[in-house]
Structure 1
Amino acid sequence: MTAYAATSAPALTAYAEDLLSRRLARSAAARTDGVTALSDYHQWFAACAERSSTEVEPVPLDELTGWHREPGTGNLVHDSGRFFSVGGVSVERPGAAVPGWSQPVINQPETGILGILMSEFDGVAHFLMQAKVEPGNHNGLQLSPTVQATRSNYTGAHRGRPVPYVEYFRNAAQHTVIADVRQSEQGAWFYRKRNRNMIVEVREPVEVRNGFRWLTLGQVHELLALDDMVNMDSRAVLSCLPFTGPGVAQAAASSPDAFQTALLRSCEIGADDGRHTTAEILNWITETRSTTELLVRQVPLNQVTGWRAADGRISHESGLFFDVMGVRVRARGREVDQWTQPLIAAGRTGLIAFLTSRINGVLHVLVQAKAEPGHNDVIELAPTVQCTPTNYAVLPAEARPPFLDEVLDADPRRIRFDTTLSEEGGRFYHTRNRYLVVEADDSEAGDHPGFRWVTLRQLTDLLRHSYYLNVEARSLVACLRSLLAGPQ
């Protein structure tokens, strides 16, 4: 087994891994029926939406209650000193198309818990999912993990009601830990943010509270095809499932096409049976991290250049990129009934895409080694394309991402997954990305500087460890697995 220089969950034996793989595949094959039928799910979710009386009102930043501008820095901080703050960073990257800039950034040094409970019913693994409203959600209610909580929340800093089910994750050693790994969040908007991504299996009965439902993995895969249904945290946690090995074939379509057959092989094959061995990929990541010049310094918010405070928010002088805005929230059924907070609003829909290619009959995805100012270790693997295309109107031509035009101009027959999904609504306001899986032309399957073709098995193995795949890539891994059983 390859040694990784990162925190990871305890290794399973080969027998246990194979058994778990088969159990997950059985769950992924159950796409309509389970403890909750998919048709009943939609009725339940609609009823939850009717009961959720959350009101979100944009307000000027200087009208936020319980928040203030820190004297001397201008940073937005909570009066308690907990939760998160909005400060600034200065970034220098010599030799890059954009060699330097500064920007606002969210600073949230505490590690939260994103956790999903797993349990077996009638021989099929189910996952306890939550219908949860976040203030920044584009459509209000979305399907969330069992627990989605910051440390401030689950330790009671908000002085609200306890977080349901959090005890299963804080006392995970009393149960069976399927996945437990710290992962980063958006490196463009957070400064070294990380959350503990956990999947914990319980064997005793669990009371199902209002707003929660047991779903199979296949049902969640079906819901991933719907715009703004499965939230970012659910996608990120589910990507950490060890969904590899020969058992995965149980989840495959009964009459797979060439793409699905290659995708299945990408999950089944050994870790070193792709275009590059795992050792080669790790060497490339380490080499890139060691040689990339990226100097990131935290600076006071009032020293960030190119940004201005106007109309109650902080915006870039070009009107592009993102804004820092404020909201007032009134919510029923949350740990706290009302509050105010700042949020980041991207304003324009971004583009997140994997190019895929069948290499020797095995599906490979093209990942890039992407440097972002908020990463914990300079570089993480990112999708082939990760950007907001409209932002390049004010940037040098050489800053335009490789493969962006190939994705934008892709033949619709080559697009395997195409859904617009929201980013985390607790920190981002109506911030959405179009997630795509696109089959590349065979002529594009060569090597490219800064990019590597990798198998889904290799990505899954890397996801057992911290800070190898960024949150956008993790979302796409979950989306890609949903295609095993058939097209959307």
Structure 2
Amino acid sequence: MTSADLDTQRATETHPDGVSEGFLSWFADRTRATACQVTRTPLSDLRGWSLDAATGNLTHHSGRFFAIEGLHVRTSYGQVPEWSQPIINQPEIGILGLLVKTVDGVPFGLVQAKMEPGNFNSVQLSPTVQATRSNYTRVHRGDRTKYLEHFTHPRAGTVVADVLQSEQGSWFLHKRNRNMIVQVDDSVPAADGHHWMPLDELRSLLRIDGLVNMDIRTVLSCLPASFFAAQDRHGTDGMASALARSISGDGTPLHSAETVLSWFTAAKSRHELAVRRVPLRALPGWRNTPEEIVHDDGQHFSIIGVSVRTNDREVGEWHQPLIYPSGRGLVTFVVKDIDGVAHLLVNARYQAGLLDAMEMGPTVQCNPGNYSGPGPRFLDYVRQVPAERILYDTILAEEGGRFYHSQNRYLLVDAGDDVPIEVPEEFCWVTAHQLTGLLRHGYYVNVEARSLLACLHSLW
């Protein structure tokens, strides 16, 4: 059985209610038609890439795309005060864009079935446009990016959202993408590899393991609640009603928007984070071999190389490095019904690669396998929560263009009375509607929390 057949089988056998046969048929056709061969390749053999003789940094011969460099970090925050690591330096700003339209009162989104070399399952759903600046300016001399003009010159549509957002602050240095949603009329056809689908149906797909990629999740998190049909929650259980009020903004939040911002500003002022770029060569605690760059204890992540052949991208063959995490991560929001409104327990998190050092993240965000002793706050609680308190539980992949087989288990758990309203100073209870409001601005909510917010919408 090919990887495309496995993708099709996964979507067909496990699809939740609300997913149409039209989508399943289209996705099956696209995955069968996508040829992809990804081969592990020594870093020293990556065509078009070279290790700088002085620094050991791994760079592309064009000077574009991205580089693998070294980073040294000192901080007063967290359990480890100082460390060194490789990091992806990709200073250019890419576009993650979703076209939407309304037909007979039903909002639709234009999705793409896209192959990425790091995807564990080859093909996943992505936004209408998902492209780095190097790609859409055709540094690779490949085909043009379809629908790009709707986001670079969106005069024919209505801009619903347009904001710079960060990506994984543990693995990217100051990486940002332009998250855009543009509403168009009904005259934009779906090109080969693209598919118009109701946004409610797209939400349902977030409950399928590994199907909806990170890039469309972060864009979906920026959608106003008005783009999702409100469900009648009368007569349902208390948490379902509380979630609906949290998303829609009905009901009174525990903290005002001003109080949440004051809490966050105080958290950013409480600790120091000093970051400096250093040569990749001879990073303390890391081993460089012709095959890979790996941590001495085998944990955290490594830098590997791959060669890629496909019929589904602007160019058919290329080489590149990827970050390969050591295991599956855990990303969780603890959820509490406070006076009839569901609140999410957000964590003010420093991450070395974030442009503004700190953003609001999930309650728990870590790779549990990296801890031999005590882990972060609430990790033990989340890992032991009974099954009946789990509201959402899905394995989702991270950025397949830069990470190899990177997966996180995304959880939403009902705290009930286990977690009090009074929480440690680096945590704060906020509603989903308050988080969505913060997403009108960049650098408040990290990418893992944005993904989980999109997952929360799938429960409404």
- TM superposition score category, shorter chain reference: over 0.9
**What are the superposed Cα offsets for residues 311-368 of structure 1, whole Å, 9 maximum, x if unpaired?**
6000000000001000000010310110000000103110000000000111001000
When the two structures are aligned, how many residues end up with a matched partner?
444
Q: Are residue 463 (structure 1) and residue 439 (structure 2) matched?
A: yes
Are 1:100 and 2:82 counterparts?
A: yes
CA change 1:360–1:207 in 2 (3 A) is same
Structure 2: which 5+ residue stretches go unaligned?
A: 1-15
Q: How far apart are the structure 1 equivalents of 2:360 and 2:93? A: 21
Counterpart of 1:288 in structure 2: which amino acid?
Answer: A
Q: 1:71 to 1:405 in 2, by over 3 A?
A: same
Q: Give the deviation of 1:148 after TM superposition.
A: 0.2
Give the aligned partner of residue 371 of structure 1. 350
Equivalent residue for 1:57? 39
Answering whether residue 341 of structure 2 is matched by residue 380 of structure 1, we say no
Report the more deviating stretch, 410-419 or 257-266. Answer: 257-266
Partner in structure 1 of residue 247 of structure 2? 267
**Correspondence 1:318 to 2:297:** yes
Following TM superposition, by how much is the alpha carbon of 1:285 offset from its aligned partner in structure 2, in angstroms?
1.3
Question: Contact 1:248–1:268 (CA<8 Å) still a contact in 2?
Answer: no
Per-residue deviation, 1:214: 0.6
CA deviation after TM superposition for structure 1 residue 441, in Å: 3.0
Q: Contact 2:233/2:244 (CA < 8 Å) preserved in 1?
A: no
1:150 partner letter: T
Q: Which runs of structure 2 are paired with 1:342-357 in the superposition (5 Å)? A: 342-357=321-336
- Structure 2 counterpart of 1:131: 113
Q: Secondary structure at the match of 1:250?
A: coil
Deviation at 1:243, TM superposition (A): 1.4
5+ long unaligned stretches in structure 1: 1-30
Question: What is the one-letter code of the residue matched to 1:75?
Answer: N
Q: Which residue of 1 aligns with 2:28?
A: 46
Give 2:183's match in structure 1, choosing from 201, 220, 223.
Answer: 201
Aligned-residue Cα RMSD (Å) equals: 1.6
- Looking at structure 2, the residues matched to 354 and 252 of structure 1 have their Cα atoms a distance apart, in angstroms, of 24
From 303, 314, 317, the counterpart of 1:338 = 317
8 Å Cα contact 1:252-1:260 kept in structure 2: no
Q: TM-score, normalised by structure 2?
A: 0.93
Answer whether contact 1:248 1:264 (CA < 8 A) is retained. no
Which of 188, 212, 219 aligns to 1:230? It is 212
Q: For 1:169 and 1:95, locate their aligned partners in 2 and report how far apart those are by CA, in whole Å.
A: 38
Q: CA deviation at 1:253?
A: 4.9
State which drifts further: 335-344 or 206-215: 206-215
- CA-CA distance at 1:97 after TM superposition: 2.0
Query: Structure 2: how far apart are the matches of 1:414 and 1:371?
Result: 29
C-alpha contact 1:190 1:374 (8 A) present in aligned 2 = yes
Identical counterparts, % of pairs: 49
The 2-side partners of 1:131 and 1:254 are apart by: 37
Matched, 1:360 2:331: no
Please name the residue that 1:68 is paired with: 50
Once the two structures are TM-superposed, the CA of residue 267 in structure 1 deviates from its matched residue by 2.2
The separation in 1 between residues aligned to 2:382 and 2:22, in whole angstroms, is 36
Over 3 Å counting, the alpha-carbon distance change for 1:199 and 1:44 in structure 2 is same
Task: Give the Cα–Cα distance (whole angstroms) in 1 for the partners of residues 443 and 452 of structure 2.
Answer: 16
Of 413, 420, 433, the match for 1:445: 420
Shift of 1:249: 6.9
Deviation at 1:269, TM superposition (A): 3.1
After TM superposition, the structure 1 = structure 2 runs for residues 295-306 of structure 1, keeping only pairs within 5 Å, are 295-306=274-285
Q: 1:252 to 1:64 in 2, by over 3 A?
A: farther
**In structure 2, the residue corresponding to 1:406 is in which secondary structure?**
helix
Measured against aligned partners, the alpha-carbon deviations of 1:63-99 in whole angstroms (never above 9, x if no partner) come to 1000001121110000000000000110001364211
